[in-house]
Amino acid sequence: MCVKSGCDRGDCRPLAKEAGIILPNSAINRLHRTLAYLTCTRFFHSLRQKNMSSDSDSDVLEVEQQPTRSSAPTASTAKPNGHDVVDVDSDSNDRSANQSEQGLVRELARVEDELKAVTKQILRLKQKQSSLASRQEQISQELLLNQSKSLAQKDWTGTHFEWSGRVREVLQDVFKISEFRHLQLSAINATLSKQDLILVMPTGGGKSLCYQLPALVSQGITLVISPLISLMEDQVMQLRKLGVGAEMLTGSTKREENTRIKNLISKGPASEKPKLLFVAPEKLAKNKSFMSFLQNLHRANGIARIAIDEVHCCSDWGHDFRPDYTFLGVLRDLFSDVPIIGLTATASNKVIADVQKILNLQGCLVLKAPFNRPNLYYEVRPKTAVQKDWLEEVADLLSAEFKGQSGIIYALSIKDTEELATGLRERNIKAGWYHASMSPELRSKAHTKWLEGKLQVIVATTAFGLGIDKPDVRFVIHHSISKSIENYYQESGRAGRDGRKAKCILYYRFADYFRLSTLVFAQQTGLQKLSHMLAYCTEPIKCRRELVAEHFSDTWGQGDDCKSMCDHCRRPRSSEQVDVTKHCISVYRLIRNALENETKLTANMLFDLWYGKGKPALRLKDIPAPTHSREYMENIVAHFISEGFVKEDFNFTAYSTTSYLKINTAGQQKLDAGYRIKTIVAVKAKRPSSPACEVNGKKMKA
């Protein structure tokens, strides 16, 4: 060890020699003390280099000022050139250096304390900055929302507009409709007034009319941006049937057809010019020649308005985000005097604000109809583990309650659609299947057979959704849970579009949650949205409509009535709040114990262990099997997942992804700090004690 400084190399003296310096002990000591931040080696290396490049006196060491906390020069040693001068032979210098060292140590401690305080302050300020920034965003959103609300206060329903007479004429003569539905006239008047507008109306509410009718009352073309080719085909076909000129351009439109349509729109005779042009968002985002065509058309006042169908696709908070939709933000600037109308059935306030931002329509008019579909009955039923039992139950339902009625069964995978439809056919139900892997011909054949009533039910993936406009769908059954409440609302919304009563039944099984979580976890908002759906399915007592209204920030006041059109309102149950903290601790312990045994637990493995099954080494003797049913306990664990106490850990194999359960550290910290987890459970009504009665003289239970 080299003197007192802690240098363990012991090579300062040979290095000093090599640098041409003869050092007395006192100088070595002092250097070690005052230059504690340097190892001796570093110091002499730098010195050697310095000496090599200068003719300095070997008795005088010129120490380069280091950018460190102990570098303040003293008046006695400071050279005019800014370098400290250390006289290695001077004892008085030695003493003063000792004093200055103590001073430096004190200063260092003070500086360190100050630094700590400043760091704390910075952290506090950063937190404040981020909370102020999010409040700022919230306030600007609220201000814009207020702007939207005040625009919505204006009376748009009037019939005093210059176009009012013509609007009614077109409604009756072209569309053969006698009366407007809620918000249709307001939306039509607003867009004809050149007001930018976002229209939120329930599925089947009649949104299409709100841009189709104005298209016939305005000069120029209405450009409709739509996410699906099948949706465009359907609309073009319907419009042509009504005698309205409509065209569509997609990525697969042939070059000649493309030119024909463009020429017709820009140069065709007025009587032959189409009034509506349907395009996919990709057409705008990826086709410069089409954008140039639109700009030329605009210069010639040829664009009446732009309608963006399924506008929630702009936002990744919406349920089917499409990156090409984000390109549509340029439209507001490029065609500044052309009114834009965005339409959707599923948008919470968050999605609306997001869409407004992306499309540059901040503060525009928002017309929002209630989400409630009063004619739809919502029910969640437990799903049996055995497929055969489920098929029996549903076949019974279709041949009794839904006999002669038309409906849809939504399934999670392509394989499921085919297996379930086959299973139903074996039980004499006229069932077909529909999914994205079928050829367009086969898909269209299945769709047509169902439309014509040759199939009672179509078992489909969500590929069968947007644009399905069969009015008399009396039931929509979900074989497993949907990816989000938005998806469920859309899919179940295919029922009862004629306004008559229809049933939406969802079969829930906890295991299905994990089939979906492994599919959606890579999406930015996938798991969060799925957890909302999980909470919807496991909700024990609350009205289903109220849950949906809350999700979409819709108003559902005390006076609002479901009219017994959901399972919870039809069969109200009493409930109680229970403390489930101990169950969470058990779950954490089982997961931790398994990890200590190098095993990760899937939900199924966890429940097996909890109920005393599975590998004995992974069981914990002091955790007794729950006294409640597995279904009850699954709902409790579902609550832990929805509330973030339990997280998932996704692991890939070559063919699949597995979800394992893991402890959320933040959840553990909360429990450590004494937090109690509480949840609401339904309380089974006590059976009234059966009065005894007498049959043939014997006492029997009634």
Ligand X SMILES: Nc1ncnc2c1ncn2[C@@H]1O[C@H](COP(=O)(O)OP(=O)(O)OP(=O)(O)O)[C@@H](O)[C@H]1O
Site residues for ligand X per CB under 6 A? 177, 179-181, 184, 201, 203-209, 345, 469, 493, 497
Q: Do 547 and 536 form a contact (C-beta atoms < 8 A)? A: yes
Q: How far is the CB of 310 from ligand X (least distance, A)?
A: 8
In angstroms, the CA 678 to CA 576 distance is: 10
Question: For ligand X, which is the closer residue by CB, 27 or 201?
Answer: 201
Q: How far is the CB of 156 from ligand X (least distance, A)?
A: 16
Dig out the tokens for 580 from the structure: 């489930």
In angstroms, the CA 522 to CA 207 distance is: 32
Q: Do 20 and 50 form a contact (C-beta atoms < 8 A)? A: no
Q: Give the start-end residues of each E strand in 77-174.
A: 84-87
Q: How far is the CB of 344 from ligand X (least distance, A)?
A: 8
Within 10 angstroms of residue 301's Cβ, the number of other Cβ atoms is: 11
Q: How far is the CB of 457 from ligand X (least distance, A)?
A: 19
Nearest to 137 by CA among 365, 368, 362: 362
Task: Tell me the residue type at 73.
Answer: P
Residues 6+ apart with CB under 8 A from 446: 432, 433, 434, 438, 455, 458
Question: For ligand X, which is the closer residue by CB, 180 or 556?
Answer: 180
Question: For ligand X, which is the closer residue by CB, 179 or 452?
Answer: 179
Q: How far is the CB of 374 from ligand X (least distance, A)?
A: 16
Q: How far is the CB of 229 from ligand X (least distance, A)?
A: 15
DSSP per-residue codes, 187-225: HHHHHHTT--EEEE--TTS--THHHHHHHHHSSSEEEEE
Dig out the tokens for 313 from the structure: 């696709």
Q: How far is the CB of 375 from ligand X (least distance, A)?
A: 13
Question: For ligand X, which is the closer residue by CB, 172 or 448?
Answer: 172
3-state secondary structure of 673: coil
Q: How far is the CB of 502 from ligand X (least distance, A)?
A: 14
Question: For ligand X, which is the closer residue by CB, 166 or 662?
Answer: 166
Question: For ligand X, which is the closer residue by CB, 206 or 302?
Answer: 206
Residues 6+ apart with CB under 8 A from 3: 28, 29, 32
Question: For ligand X, which is the closer residue by CB, 545 or 619?
Answer: 545
Question: For ligand X, which is the closer residue by CB, 224 or 601?
Answer: 224
Within 10 angstroms of residue 273's Cβ, the number of other Cβ atoms is: 16
Q: Do 144 and 363 form a contact (C-beta atoms < 8 A)? A: yes
Position of minimal CB gap to ligand X:
206
Question: For ligand X, which is the closer residue by CB, 213 or 533?
Answer: 213
In angstroms, the CA 496 to CA 125 distance is: 55
Q: How far is the CB of 469 from ligand X (least distance, A)?
A: 5
